[in-house]
Amino acid sequence: MENGKGSAMVELANDTLVFSFPEVHPEARLRVTFQRTLRIPDDGRAYDLPPGLGSFPLRPVDDYPIQVPPAWRRHGGVMIPMHRAEALWIEFASDEIKNHGAPYPFAVAAGCGRINAVSGTRWTSLLRRRPSQNYLVVPEQPWLDGFSVGKGMIRQFVAMPLGEGATAEEQIAGSGETGGIQIQVRPMRREVFEKRFPFRYSYPEATPRQYPYVTEAPATYEMGLAAGGRMRQQIAADPYLLADWERGQRGRCFVHLAAAEEWWRITGANPPETPVTARTYADAGLKWFSWYDESLVPLQGSRRLASLKSVADVARKKHRKLPPGNEPADVKHVVPLSPQPPPWQNDAFQPRWNGPGNRRLDSRGPGPQA
């Protein structure tokens, strides 16, 4: 785990990364989880948000110094197991500050290898708005499901082995040197927070989205994130000033993606099973989700990321079989999780405002498996 500049602390607790900044504010904490989910079909259609099927297990790289590649040891951080062509989404949750009634705001940069997942530019520790914003703002952005490719549109994060030319890092940077995910967090300056969110300010409670129901490893076991199917998701523009964010306080963590078939060799534990296909899930009439907030200004998306070849595109170009489970899904049950109807939904809208709403697995047992 990498503790960042200043007093930033990065800890692992119950498969959750916890970024805390006690010198900024004793309650300034951001929790980050990586959710298992359905891989939506890459068929040219735009899909709504799939559910969370439980958190990926996170393990500290430092606990396995012999079993992991040398680059992982140099970077530190954590690792998660992923199957080939498996999808994930990232959840962000900020603690509500007592006597203010507001979650503490954070600026979060997410990198896929050396490529920023929001702007498509090379990774940098600096927050930038020009030529395009390269970070998310939490709590305004509760989830990130993929690469920002257009206004209100992303391409789903899908794990692929490095070396095949499918990952965003390989396509944009020319090689897959880093792989995995980088998360960097900067808190809002305390004096700005207290001015913008004075004593007893009221803010909707944020809850996760939910579906209610020993030899050294060679580099070929490393994975990165590639572009999958198209999904409707807003990436919100920063509603604050760039100067509102801390410059001297930041926390960063590498999240390495281990091939699922190697997880037992590295950790001695079995990886999670592959989720069911999107078609099987949709045919069962189970829930998908939509999220739209007209009070937020969506980013236009990155042209560079929009030009990425998807996993299916790369497979076709190399005359390989498409990943299994790419059949179109007929989605019939979409649950709105936002305070107003998305403009693309024509059916009757029943408001269910409770922060971003429930999207991930609850305590009643595991979601559907293959």
Residue 353 lies in a domain: no
In angstroms, rounded to a whole number, what is the distance separating the alpha carbons of residues 21 and 193?
Answer: 14
What is the Cα–Cα distance from 64 to 328, expressed in whole angstroms? Answer: 40
Model confidence pLDDT, tens digit, residues 203-241: 444 444 543 333 334 445 789 999 999 999 999 999 999
Identify whether 351 is part of a domain: no
d(CA 119, CA 106): 18
pLDDT at residue 308, rounded to an integer? 96
Q: Which residues of the chain have pLDDT under 50?
A: 201-208, 210-219, 346-355, 361-370
The answer as to whether 364 is a domain residue is no
Q: Which domain holds residue 303?
A: 9-336
- Check residue 203 and give its pLDDT: 44
What pLDDT, on a 0 to 100 scale, did the predictor assign at position 142? Answer: 93
C-beta of residue 144 within 8 angstroms of C-beta of residue 90:
yes
The amino acid occupying position 365 is G
In the prediction, which pLDDT does 177 show? 84
CA separation, residue 109 to residues 52, 119, 124, 136 (Å): 22, 10, 9, 6
User: What is the predicted pLDDT for the residue at 78?
Assistant: 97
181 falls within a domain: yes
Q: Is the peptide bond before 187 cis (omega within 30 degrees of 0)?
A: no
Q: What pairing do the DSSP bridges indicate for beta strands 288-290 and 334-336?
A: parallel
Residue 54 included in any domain: yes
Q: How many domains does the chain have?
A: 1
For residue 352, tell me if it sits in a domain.
Answer: no
Structure confidence at residue 5 (pLDDT) = 58
Does residue 165 lie in a domain region? yes
**What is the model's pTM?**
0.87
